[in-house]
Amino acid sequence: MTLRMLSRLMLAASGLALSAQGVFTNANSPDAPICPRVMREKSGVEMKHNMGADTSATRYSQWGDQFFPQAERKDVSLFAAYDEKAKGTSIASLKGKVVLVGLWSTHCDPSAKMLMEFASLYAKRDQYGFEILSVNFDETQQDSGIEGGWRAISKFRIKNRQFFDASKMPIYTPGLGKEGPSNFMDMVYSVPVLFVVDRQGKLAEIHIGYKDGFVGQALMRALRERVPAPMPVPPPTPEGAKPSPS
């Protein structure tokens, strides 16, 4: 199968819908590209007296695309994604492959659309030399009674069993600290987010917000990219050798 045939495949819908539940607030409309992050902020009164009653919810959102020339890309190989058995897969272990890292929420319709694009491509990853890390980005928010982590993911998978059984695509949670998403960007205020990592383990593209076909288009760009030739290393000078006379 050629790259052109793969580009056709990426446009094919899986035919299986995903229903939502979780941490980011859902999109404002069915066609909205993002789900904003809701964060509860304590007022000065609450912080001073620890009353626990005066909080306000603020919606933070961001979206857009960033493309990085090869000479300006940063190494993100420390990032690692963990499966439900706590087995980690790092970007460093996948060098030589294009890697798509997608952050998603169980309560976000645009995230579900990105997962369906991932699923349509997942079976072709070995043939074309790429990998997909589908990373859930929900976290438990006790104030809101919202559950994150593997318990929430398991409920979501059961609710969407047909989709996950058909796609056979694993789900991950992100590493922390040096292994976390801060490798890619300082803060994530909206999902879905797609990070495209080149074959050298460097960040090539960031896409915040869903657009039809954007996963496959980004993958095609990365697969078609030429690997830069390594810089030639000058041979070592023999010890004790004298420079030739001019």
The rounded mean pLDDT for the chain is 82
Question: How many Å apart are CA 18 and CA 157, to the nearest integer?
Answer: 9
pLDDT (0 to 100) of residue 228: 64
183-223 pLDDT, tens per residue? 999 989 899 999 999 999 999 999 999 999 999 999 999 99
Tell me the three state secondary structure of residue 99. Answer: strand
Encode burial over 59-83: b for 16+ CB neighbours within 10 A, e otherwise.
eebebeeeeeeeeebeebbbbbbbe
Residue-wise DSSP of 145-208: TB--HHHHHHHHHHHTHHHHHHH----BEE--GGGSGGGT-S---EE-EEEEE-TTSBEEEEEE
11-33 pLDDT, tens per residue? 433 334 444 333 688 888 878 99
Distance set, CA 31 to CA 16, 110, 191, 209, 211 (Å): 18, 8, 14, 11, 9
| In the chain, where the domains are located | 63-208
Across-strand partners of 114?
A: none
Class of domain 63-208: alpha beta
Residues of the chain scoring pLDDT < 50: 1, 3, 5-22, 43-54
DSSP 12: S
Q: Can you give the pTM of this predicted structure?
A: 0.79
DSSP 135: E
DSSP 234: P
The residue behind tokens 């004790």 is 240
pLDDT (0 to 100) of residue 198: 98
